[in-house]
Amino acid sequence: MKNDKRKKIVGVVTEFNPFHDGHAFFLQEIRKKYAADYIVAVMSGDFVQRGEPAFFSKFERGREAIKKGVDLLVQLPVIFSLSGSRDFAYGSIKLLHELGFVDQIVFGSESGNLQRLKEITSFLQKEEENPDFQKTFRSYLAEGFSYPAARDKAIQSYFPDSILPNDNLGISYLRAIDTIHTKMEIGIIFRDKNFSSAHSLREKYREENQLLYADIERVKDYLFFRIMELERDEISLSTFQDVHPELAERIVDFMKDIEKKQLDLREIIKDLKGKNHTYSRISRALMHILLNIRKEDIQELKEKPYPYFRILGCSSKGEALLSSLPKNSIMRLGQYLKENQELMQNRSLKIDLFAGRIFQSIYPKSKDEFREFFIKI
């Protein structure tokens, strides 16, 4: 699979949750700064890295993205889209690398200083061998900082001019690029803070609309049933990704408290997180329990080639890339699975399809993804 050398293909990693003007600006700048002929986006599908269902469906978000500049849209498997920044970045970069025709990966940056980010990345690759760094890190933990905050402050003691944590995800991309040994070039676009963030847009939409989006509160009953089912079958919660033994014990104790169980799921997450973990980490852990994502699932998907590539759509120009896609690319789900029934046994795909079923049940405007047409604009 070879890229036509007269054309430049740039890959980006996205959630578009929801798509907004800042994303459109990002895509426009990529075309200007890096002379991109095609932009390939890896996008989270039904669940996102914060540990929640996506705000709108992947088809709605994907359609807006293709209208505004994406030429080929590929879904990131939920095993990675629900992961912390390291695995999220690794799975995304691995996917772009294994497509086989992406020339460059470009990401947004608060600092706009690629060399500085590379220096921090190089330092972090060796941090586990650095006793001074570990001592500094542990001292911040002892002061009561959460794990990620203590780590960021330890890094800042070595790189005082860095802007962590805002560039943390970019550093995760660089670490993944080093690990995978991809030949894709690297580029960054300065992130313009004048645009409203996806977070602020979600909050505004919550205030103005009558729950016409997928809300995490709607999975609460599913989650509680799942936990009771696991307890009945004597399956430890620590089997699941991001669920350490202490958290597993707290969840079990929580389930015994009838009054606490009446709280909204967001309040439950806040109650469970304690001081050493972020809200997102706990939310991801609970979604891993719900979707049956185990520690070995992530490791297997990291170590083996991608078993499939879910292609959600393309622009009319991006249609030229379809002939270069790997043979195990899925463009029309129902038709592909009829012809490749053995893929239905794949663990990652099973989790993707189950996540899709959960999403369809909680999203008011949802459609059966087996009947969704390939997006082409």
Q: Which residues are annotated as a binding site for ATP?
A: 13-26, 108, 166, 191
| First CA to last CA distance, the chain | 25
**Six-digit token string for 363:** 């999203």
3-state helix, strand, coil in the chain (%, to 5): 55, 10, 35
Cβ atoms 97, 180 nearer than 8 A: yes
CA distance 377 to 237: 44
Q: Give the amino acid at 46.
A: D
CA distance 31 to 38: 8
CA distance 78 to 88: 10
CA distance 98 to 282: 31
DSSP 8-state class, residue 294: B
**Six-digit token string for 188:** 């960054």
CA angle 203, 205, 206 (to 5 degrees): 65
Residue 118: which residues within 8 A CB-CB, separation 6 or more?
A: 174
DSSP 8-state class, residue 154: H
CA distance 56 to 77: 17
| Binding-site annotation, residues | 13-26, 108, 166, 191
Cβ atoms 359, 206 nearer than 8 A: no
CA distance 337 to 344: 7
**Six-digit token string for 255:** 């389930």
3-state SS, residue 53: strand
3-state SS, residue 174: helix
Paired sense of beta strands 104-109 and 309-314, if any: unpaired
Bridge partner list, 314: 72, 376
CB atoms within 10 A of CB 35: 9
